[in-house]
Chain A
Amino acid sequence: MKTALLAAATLSAQAALGLPSSPSWMAAVLLPVVFITAPPLLRSERRWPHFALLLGLAWDLMLEPVVGPGAIAWSAAAVAIGLVVPLVADRSPRAWLVFGALGAALVIVVREAALLPLGLAGGLSWRSTAVSVSLTALWCCLVGWIIALDLPSRWLRFRSRKLR
């Protein structure tokens, strides 16, 4: 439930990033990528492809003209990252950065490939893809760094020191 609420909030934020009043580069960030990179990196249970599928369907409903390609793209990225992450031992923010970039690239490419048979593919540009992948990777790295900081335990230690 908490994850679903977080995902809804993330999608809302994603929609907000594309508002006309915001800078154009902000829409290039794929905020939900953290939901497909986090489960394997945090070694959570293995239903993440299904969650990614639902996330993709929600993405399609909110942001895409057609329901389906987004779900394919997000679940494909989740499956790929889930297969690759166990091969790497690193769980540092750098790993978040790399896998976030990989997830973003996969989402973009697979989505475009899924749109291609429908005649809706707009064509990928290296620049926009690179911007999107870079910003998304930075976003995932930020999330990974925050998780690595372990703020709740730090807060608990701070509170316990103050109480003494």
Chain B
Amino acid sequence: MTDRRLLILRTALLWILLELIAAAQVRSPAGELVLWRWIRAAVAPVLYVGDAVGSFVAGTITGVSDATSLVVENNRLLTQLETSRAMNLLMRDDMMARDEIEALIALIPQLAASAVPGRTTHRDLSRGRLVAVVAPGHRIRSDTSAVATGGVIGRVIRSEGRRCWIEIITHPAAAVAVQTRDGTVQGLAVGSDPGEPGILEIRYVPRQARLLRGDEIVTSGADGIHPPGIPVGRVITVRESDRPFLDVRAEPAAQPATARVVLFLDDWTGPHPPVTGRP
């Protein structure tokens, strides 16, 4: 910067200073110092901008805070909604289980008072196993009959605490003493081989027995495990074979795949109690 420019710059700064000095000596008609008015006029935009920036920042912070609160509230509501949905599903499941229990009670009205209900918690149909849980305080013994919607579903093979392991009647090792509803034909329902899963084989039915497709098979109570008169299944095929007995296949009355509740009939005594189940 040349000396001349520097001189002019300094002089201009001096002029500004002198003008400010002059303004500090003069009062406006309102009695206010002109310098003060100038300062206010100079500071007002800064204050306005500061105020605007402050408002913007405050608004932004409030917005972010509100948004955060909304997100938190939204998450809480989502969690609550999911909880409600889960509870709704559980309640729906409970209601259906209750309906199943009512159907079961109608199936065995004489034994309903002593029966212990249980909720199925696990099923493994390929291995013919079903796990059910009973209410606290109940102890289910082994070889207790288990009845589900439709009829007999199996017997208890193990009990530990509240949990009971049920062997489904379609298991190859399972066997239930059965008869026709009128008691004229007796037999033993065993689980079929793995080639026919979910099918019962009725053994020891004499060749001269009057058994037709669609006949209902109920428990006879001869096995000492299952009370008599409880539906076991319905005959689907009756064939003659080279053996002295008919080759009979039956479809189980109970559906292990959909059973929610079971009733454990652990308090029936005697092989022939007076049971009059509904067909």
Contact = CB atoms under 8 A, between A and B. Distances in A.
Interface of A: 46, 49, 53, 66-69, 71-72, 75-76, 79, 83, 114, 117-120
Interface of B: 3-4, 7-8, 11, 14-15, 18-23, 25-26, 28-29, 34, 38
B15 A117 contact: no
A99 B31 CA distance: 41
A75 B11 CA distance: 8
Given A53-B14, A75-B15, A118 B23 contact: yes
Contacts of A117: 19, 23, 34, 38
Contact of A76 (B3, B4, B15): B15
Contact of A79 (B11, B18, B22, B34): B11
A67 B25 contact: yes
Given A53-B14, A76-B15, A66 B25 contact: yes
B26 A67 contact: no
A71 B17 CA distance: 11
Contacts of A76: 11, 15
A49 B38 CA distance: 27
Nearest to B24: A68
A67 B26 CA distance: 10
Contacts of B18: 67-69, 71-72, 114
Given A49-B7, A72-B19, A119-B28, 18 more contacts: A46-B7, A49-B11, A66-B22, A67-B22, A67-B25, A68-B19, A68-B20, A68-B21, A69-B19, A71-B14, A72-B18, A79-B11, A83-B4, A117-B23, A118-B23, A119-B26, A119-B34, A120-B26
Nearest to B14: A53
Contacts of A46: 3, 7
